[in-house]
Amino acid sequence: PLLQRASSVAGKASGKRNEFLTETVGKLRVIKTGGYERIWLERFRQMSGKAAMADFKQNLIQVVVSTSSNAITITAGISVIAFSVYRVLEDTMSVGGVVAAMILVWRVLAPLQTACVSMPRIERVINSIKQIDNLMNLKPEREIKAVTRPPARFRGHVVFSRVSFRYTAETDPALVGASFEIQPGEVVGVIGPNGSGKSTVLKLMSGLYQPQAGSIRIDNHDLRQIDPADLRSSIAYVPQIFNVFYGTIAQNLRLASPTALDEELRIAANQARVLEEILALPDGFNTKLGESRTDHFSASFMQRLSLARAYLKRAPLMLFDEPVTGLDFTGDRYFMSMVNALRGQSTIFIVTHRPSHLAVADKVLVFQNGYLRLAGAAKDVMKQIPPDLL
């Protein structure tokens, strides 16, 4: 039990240290720009010290166990030899009996010694098996029996029916009893103060979370009965923060449409008004991107890449979460013209704070503190929106 406890403590300490190192690599620029090096080094020093001490205690126990097993084996062997020699001198045991006794003792003690020495390895194997079991016991996003075959292509008919959701049991509900219906091809503006539940609506539609109450239906299919892969293949989602992956610009764009031709990449980039900037780069669409390679690109450039990736997918359901963050007036105007071009082809949700976006919307949803306060035709809702919400 002592060795088991020490191994568990050492494993947890090592895991926390590795998680901290991973976080450090991922947020290295933030640490440098914020001047957090001293604080970060102090945290790392403390974690490294705890991990080193835990490893030391584990190794110490292993050495004690190994040394004790060797001492017991040697002591037992010497005791048998001394006892056998004494019996031989008394003529009550023959030399052959001594040899037989020694062979028998070593046959018994050798496996015991091996078992004691192997205990740390056995403990590590048991812990590894437990971790694999925990991994294999993770529930999938959807139960296989609950999944039904979706249509070949969604039309974009979205219905929320008394949907309520909270991220954790300790937090306030992010959404409470939201109900609305959106017809295929409509443009929907979603507005409200920060933390009112706007982005939560998009995440629920993407299947990233499951509502605790109510139901979400797309084309009369309950979201809980649609395979997440099928659902997300029919959704183009532009988050608030554009995440790039290591690779070229073309490879990042093709994440939305792996079979897209070079000409299609150019068309999507031109629609997002980022084509000229890409072609001005020395390597064009073959320019490398990654966490450490995006510092010299402006936020406007990265945001337009995000829009280009969505345009390339041309999904029946397009979700834009603050899509013009970092864009100037011209970029905003081009985005609205693109929304007008996609009207009727895709159902479009736009989470925004800009009144200009509501001018191109067919319907408007107004959220406040997780509640859907207003919903309906844009021209009717606009008259009722309090000025402080815009």
Contact 264, 312 (CB under 8 A): yes
| CA dihedral of 209, 370, 189, 304, whole degrees rounded to 10 | -50
Burial 179-196 (b: 16+ CB within 10 A, else e): ebebebbbbbbbbbeeeb
Mean pLDDT in residue range 279-296: 78
**Within the chain, which residue ranges are assigned CATH 1.20.1560.10?**
2-136
Question: pLDDT tens-digit profile of 104-143?
Answer: 877 877 777 777 767 767 777 877 788 788 888 877 766 6
Q: For position 319, what pLDDT does the model report?
A: 93
**Within the chain, which residue ranges are assigned CATH 3.40.50.300?**
150-389
d(CA 205, CA 365): 15
Q: For residue 363, what pLDDT band results from cuts at 50, 70 and 90?
A: very high
CA atoms within 13 A on the CB side of 321: 18
**H/E segment holding residue 249:** helix 249-253
Look up residue 154 and give its two tokens.
């969604």
Task: Return the closest-CA partner of residue 164 out of 382, 388, 370, 316.
Answer: 370
- Other beta carbons less than 10 A from residue 115's beta carbon: 11
CATH assignment, 2-136: 1.20.1560.10
Q: For position 142, what pLDDT does the model report?
A: 66
Secondary structure (H, E, C), 90-102: CCCCCHHHHHHHH
Q: For position 243, what pLDDT does the model report?
A: 78
CATH assignment, 150-389: 3.40.50.300
Task: Return the closest-CA partner of residue 270 out of 256, 253, 257, 282.
Answer: 253
d(CA 253, CA 315): 14
Average model confidence (pLDDT) across the chain: 84
Question: pLDDT tens-digit profile of 30-78?
Answer: 788 788 888 888 888 998 888 888 888 888 887 887 788 778 878 887 8
Q: Is the pLDDT of residue 164 over 90?
A: yes
**Encoded amino acid at 124, one letter:** R
d(CA 287, CA 299): 17
d(CA 389, CA 244): 32
Q: Where are the beta strands (DSSP E) in 185-297?
A: 187-191, 213-218, 221-222, 235-238, 247-248, 288-289
Q: Are strands 363-368 and 288-289 parallel, antiparallel or unpaired?
A: unpaired
d(CA 203, CA 167): 11
Alpha helix ranges (H) inside 27-94: 28-34, 37-89
